[in-house]
Structure 1
């Protein structure tokens, strides 16, 4: 209300005033500003969606950090951490992807060991319901319909669920897709946040930790299932460059191994 009063009574009357609001608390940004029905209704003139780094931007980031890690290892890191600069900045030069994933995700004081709950609690007012949905979607690589989600969790099909799904989608944790031949209302929700998927598959119920714990999981049935899901997510997130550069020199298809 104070912000509404400030903007409408003084700031909006000035031609030299621009108010830029930025933050990671998605529910507050969406409900209090973007979808405001009070004094700030229709006041937002421009929305800037800050997306994670792409694979290409991630490579550029590592080069600027003087990290000569090769592309296959960049892909391994991206599958586990996504393109979040805060996570990528933790990766040290001169170390392999396996070593760094061990350190940041499986050591006692690793950055990502306890990040999951802190992340959701910092973003949402009722994080338990948001986490319940992403944890459900983590079990279904092909995605789930809204009706399927309702049948599995204790949230009624109504406005509350709509808000939760919108907040998760706006924050980049889930993506709604529309299978070929299906109606728009029959869309499927997929968990597409790389770190959340990695955490739920490996970190939360880890049976071993410390040096070598990640390497010991490589090529296990659990690892193969996760890597397929994670790689598919990456491909979907890069669909536009794939379409644009299909088969051309230097395309993302040549970046992604296999």
Structure 2
């Protein structure tokens, strides 16, 4: 988040960070999350708000010719800029860490951020080992020090830090910074937020999701369509240029394959078997590894169905593209990329784009699913233990009919069946459709089953009059703070 944009939100995580700084012992923290999600801005905010000193070192982005020497030279420049040391030549990471340890502030709480840690490690396969030794022998001896390791390449962090025997028991806190919750998105519309219709906000979030770097680009004086055209369909727009940089910097040489997997997930969710049938995404272990990396990097989500009667998880997961920007870009921007780059793409109403209503439905579901805590609060489950929660899909067998439910929630006492609708007008069919889905579940007799409709659009009067739904949740309520 740029320095001139006021920091807001992230209250829960900020409180956790402040707690670490109140302790009289050193702490090692690992922060993960999608690129542009605001990891560095969050750590900077916490370091400058709760600490006495804040230092940041960032690795150089991957490109041809970048190796250990270039990373060390960059580290040396940042060291000289933030301390009293002159610029020097560093020959190794042990030397770099030793030098840094000698100039850390002697008094007061200090936050040390090593940002884009996987980039910093480029060219040195022993980087993680050197870092572990530096923590054990140098940094962990400073009781007022919090060292934060941050990066977008979650697969590197998993392999070299979280799953490494060398770091076992050393991390005080490991967390993934999620997209901004809906209530925390409102300030990006600034003082005009209360005057902007809910559907306008939904259109914007259908492209940006809860990614703060994208939300910062909102011009509240413009309509959602104007903002989207400026950001996505103009050759100078941030979200026109963003995709290639985003995937190349996170996935490097695997970017093209990962793009095709995301493209294959651009519609309804798919199982691994269904994905492997696509000739452009590869087979078997290749796809499994790619899916794990895409999920850890925050682009896709695996939904594991469960037995509605017990909450027990089943085996066959389905994968969905949960990053709204990626789906929008691959569906509408990428196919027109050459025309947009030449300035030949004419503005057109978003509703006239191919399958616009279908895409908006998928994006709207993503917004609801990624803000499940807000929904739980609105249906009076905020303080109730949830045994399981996920979109539900049931394949056709000799004994069961095919069935798909937007969201299923299982508590100890009840099953909650959630229907998610984005339409101009929502008619009585939403009741009959849900009744049919519940029939196909074949629940044991006497299973308490609550029904929920999360919606944006005009409800037919008969829906409320029939009193079928236990909870009617207009989407605008999900913007309310808990």
The secondary structure found in structure 2 opposite 1:43 is: coil
Q: Which residue of 2 aligns with 1:151?
A: 277
* More moved, 104-113 vs 27-36: 27-36
In the alignment, the residues of structure 2 paired with residue 173 and residue 214 of structure 1 have an alpha-carbon distance, to the nearest angstrom, of 28
2:328 is the counterpart of 1:202: no
Q: Which residue of 1 aligns with 2:32?
A: none
- Which residue of the other structure, out of 210, 230, 245, is the alignment partner of 1:83? 210
2:254 is the counterpart of 1:32: no
2:263 is the counterpart of 1:135: yes
* More moved, 231-240 vs 78-87: 231-240
The secondary structure found in structure 2 opposite 1:75 is: helix
2:358 is the counterpart of 1:225: yes
- Which residue of the other structure, out of 276, 296, 300, is the alignment partner of 1:174? 300
CA contact (8 A) 1:99 1:211 kept: no
2:243 is the counterpart of 1:116: yes
In the alignment, the residues of structure 2 paired with residue 20 and residue 65 of structure 1 have an alpha-carbon distance, to the nearest angstrom, of 36
* More moved, 56-65 vs 129-138: 56-65
Residue 86 of structure 1 and its aligned partner are, at CA, apart by 0.6
The secondary structure found in structure 2 opposite 1:19 is: strand
Structure index of larger Rg? 2
The secondary structure found in structure 2 opposite 1:20 is: strand
Q: Residues 5 and 14 of structure 1: is their aligned pair in 2 closer, same or farther, counting only changes over 3 Å? A: same
2:176 is the counterpart of 1:49: yes
The secondary structure found in structure 2 opposite 1:112 is: helix
Bigger relative contact order, structure 1 or 2, given CA contacts below 8 A and separation 6+?
1
* 1:222-241 deviation line (CA, Å, top 9, x unaligned): 21121111112112212232
* More moved, 40-49 vs 228-237: 40-49
Q: Which residue of 2 aligns with 1:21?
A: 149
* 1:179-200 deviation line (CA, Å, top 9, x unaligned): 3549532110001100000001
Query: Any stretches of 5+ residues in structure 2 without a counterpart?
Result: 1-128, 380-451, 453-469
In the alignment, the residues of structure 1 paired with residue 194 and residue 211 of structure 2 have an alpha-carbon distance, to the nearest angstrom, of 17
- Number of positions where the alignment pairs a residue of Structure 1 with one of Structure 2: 252
Q: Residues 170 and 97 of structure 1: is their aligned pair in 2 closer, same or farther, counting only changes over 3 Å? A: same
TM-score w.r.t. length of structure 2: 0.47
In the alignment, the residues of structure 2 paired with residue 212 and residue 130 of structure 1 have an alpha-carbon distance, to the nearest angstrom, of 27
CA contact (8 A) 1:79 1:227 kept: yes
Q: Residues 2 and 65 of structure 1: is their aligned pair in 2 closer, same or farther, counting only changes over 3 Å? A: farther
Q: Which residue of 2 aligns with 1:4?
A: 132
CA contact (8 A) 2:302 2:320 kept: yes
Residue 40 of structure 1 and its aligned partner are, at CA, apart by 2.4
Q: Which residue of 1 aligns with 2:373?
A: 240
Alignment map for 1:155-166 (pairs within 5 Å): 155-158=282-285, 160-166=286-292
- Which residue of the other structure, out of 231, 235, 245, is the alignment partner of 1:104? 231
The secondary structure found in structure 2 opposite 1:133 is: helix
Q: Which residue of 2 aligns with 1:93?
A: 220
Q: Residues 102 and 20 of structure 1: is their aligned pair in 2 closer, same or farther, counting only changes over 3 Å? A: same
Larger strand share, 1 or 2 = 2
The secondary structure found in structure 1 opposite 2:270 is: coil
TM-score w.r.t. length of structure 1: 0.84
CA contact (8 A) 1:55 1:78 kept: no
CA contact (8 A) 2:276 2:282 kept: yes
Q: Which residue of 2 aligns with 1:191?
A: 321
Q: Residues 161 and 41 of structure 1: is their aligned pair in 2 closer, same or farther, counting only changes over 3 Å? A: farther
Larger helix share, 1 or 2 = 1
